[in-house]
Amino acid sequence: MSRYRFELAGPADDAQLQAILAATPMQGPLRLCFLRRPSYFQAAVVEGRFRQVVAARELDTGRLVGFGSRAVSPRFVNGQPASVGYLSSLRLLPEHRGGTLIARGYAFFRRLHADQRAELYVTTIAAGNQQALATIASGRGGLPAYHPWGKYHTLALSLRRRLSPRRGERREGVSPSLDIRSATPDDLDELLEFLRRAGSRRQFFGEYRADDFLSADGMFRGLEWHNLWLARRQGRLVGCLGGWDQSGFRQTVVDSYGWPLRWLRPAYNLAMRCTGGPRLPSPGEELRCWLAALPVVEADQPDVFARLLAALREHLGRQGGQTLLLGLHERDPLLPAARRLAKFEYTTLLYVVCWPDGEARQQCLDQRPPYLELGQL
């Protein structure tokens, strides 16, 4: 008889879910713990409109030993709205690894998948997480197919550095016709229309609605209007970029550093102290940073993105912020401009995941650049 039972977790399991997150840092050169305090379920509202948490429970103790999350939301696929799933927070306590729990967990996910809410799923795995790459992304029997879709880069930009370029330093063209200002709730209808228009040019961009911004349970929970900046040209909205503080419900804590960061961190931090750049925290310390939200620019205009990024960094810096994290796919045309400003970079691998009934849809995906909202991962 099996020692474990798979079931959907609920709010009564919140404390155990938190304990598993704290005990299972993501592997790689920078080992991070992704915490969800004070409530896992309240934090999960940003991941999707429909959410399920699959838990593995040890029968003789009643203790949870692992879990994973399935969320489904409307996203743009080949330019058209479609329901797409997101698989995340796949965790298993170290002493329970090596058996059949992973395969059994995915079998439970497949039974949930039979509700036909989504054909395709997206997920990310840290580039240095060899254990995950050798197991869940291996394509072994019983597991869904993991199709590689390139690299997703999270860039750390300083909010304290001097924003004006040095003499001879490259800068994007500046257009005096651009009007850059922070948003208000009165801008919501125009913003939603812009996101549908511009976001459809990206694969997997979310199809958002008003309550995603207005509700405490919305997918942009905690994103304040005065921290969302809009760019207009001749009265037309052509870009947006926000700063999202999620520290009240989602936290990232440094567990440890691998080689070579463990030895380079002191010298790196000394250099950052001199230049005003973001430092690497000590193990056990929380990464206190803003997340860039909705880096969206019509036709990927570099002057619009440069002006938005400069305005947001100055705005957040005045609030005492030190670091802005910006996530973009390797094929996103906005990435090169952001990369020139980055002091540090963290790479994850994007996968499109499907069971056999989604293979035909997966093979029809076109090559427009993928988009994932960093604050919803």
Residue 168: predicted pLDDT? 35
Q: Cβ distance 303 to 173 under 8 Å?
A: yes
The string over 272-285, giving b where at least 16 C-beta atoms fall within 10 Å of a residue's C-beta and e elsewhere, is beeeebbbbbeeee
Count of domains forming the chain: 2
* Same domain (yes/no): 111, 200: no
Tell me which H or E stretch contains 34. strand 30-35
Any idea how long the chain is?
377
CA distance 155 to 341: 9
Residue 172: predicted pLDDT? 44
CA distance 151 to 29: 16
pLDDT per residue over 299-317, tens digit each?
Answer: 999 999 999 999 999 999 9
Q: Residue 88's beta-bridge partner residues?
A: 69
**Does a structural domain hold residue 375?**
no
**Does a structural domain hold residue 79?**
yes
* Same domain (yes/no): 227, 178: yes
Residue 242 Ramachandran class (φ > 0 left, ψ -120 to 50 alpha, else beta): beta
The CATH number covering residue 124 comes to 3.40.630.30
Residue range of the domain that includes 251: 155-347
- Give percent of the chain above pLDDT 70: 94
- Mean pLDDT for 208-215 is 97
* Same domain (yes/no): 233, 115: no
**Does a structural domain hold residue 360?**
no
Tell me which H or E stretch contains 73. strand 64-77
Q: Which of 152, 185, 216 is the last residue of a domain?
A: 152
* Same domain (yes/no): 222, 240: yes
Q: Which of 132, 152, 172 is the last residue of a domain?
A: 152
- pLDDT above 50: residue 2: yes
* Same domain (yes/no): 53, 194: no
Q: In the predicted model, what is the mean pLDDT of the chain?
A: 91
Residue 94: predicted pLDDT? 93
Residue 173: predicted pLDDT? 44
**Does a structural domain hold residue 81?**
yes
* Same domain (yes/no): 205, 338: yes
Residue 170: predicted pLDDT? 39
**Does a structural domain hold residue 12?**
yes
- pLDDT above 80: residue 363: yes
Residue 169: predicted pLDDT? 35
Q: Cβ distance 138 to 371 under 8 Å?
A: no
pLDDT per residue over 159-188, tens digit each?
Answer: 975 544 443 333 444 566 899 999 999 999
pLDDT per residue over 329-341, tens digit each?
Answer: 999 999 999 999 9
Higher pLDDT, 103 or 164: 103
pLDDT-based confidence at residue 59 (cuts at 50, 70, 90): very high
CA distance 63 to 58: 5
**Does a structural domain hold residue 355?**
no
Residue 149: predicted pLDDT? 98
Comparing 78-87, 97-106, 244-253, 301-310, which segment has the lowest mean pLDDT? 97-106
* Same domain (yes/no): 232, 282: yes
Residue 140: predicted pLDDT? 73
* Same domain (yes/no): 109, 171: no
pLDDT per residue over 341-350, tens digit each?
Answer: 998 898 999 9
Higher pLDDT, 161 or 26: 26
**Does a structural domain hold residue 133?**
yes
Omega of the bond leading into 74 within 30 degrees of 0 (cis): no
Residue 274: predicted pLDDT? 79
Widest Cα–Cα separation across the chain:
72
- Mean pLDDT for 59-80 is 97
Q: What is the CA radius of gyration of the chain?
A: 21
pLDDT per residue over 255-285, tens digit each?
Answer: 898 878 788 888 888 887 777 667 788 888 9
pLDDT per residue over 194-206, tens digit each?
Answer: 999 999 999 999 9
* Same domain (yes/no): 268, 311: yes
* Same domain (yes/no): 9, 148: yes
**Does a structural domain hold residue 372?**
no
CA distance 175 to 191: 21
Omega of the bond leading into 94 within 30 degrees of 0 (cis): no
- pLDDT above 80: residue 366: yes
Q: Which of 152, 176, 202 is the last residue of a domain?
A: 152
Residue 176: predicted pLDDT? 65
> What phi and psi, each to the nearest 5 degrees, are found at residue 129?
-85, 80
Comparing 44-53, 174-183, 184-193, 243-252, which segment has the lowest mean pLDDT? 174-183
Nearest residue to 56 via CA among 115, 25, 96: 96
* Same domain (yes/no): 173, 260: yes
Six-digit token string for 368: 């427009």
* Same domain (yes/no): 302, 181: yes
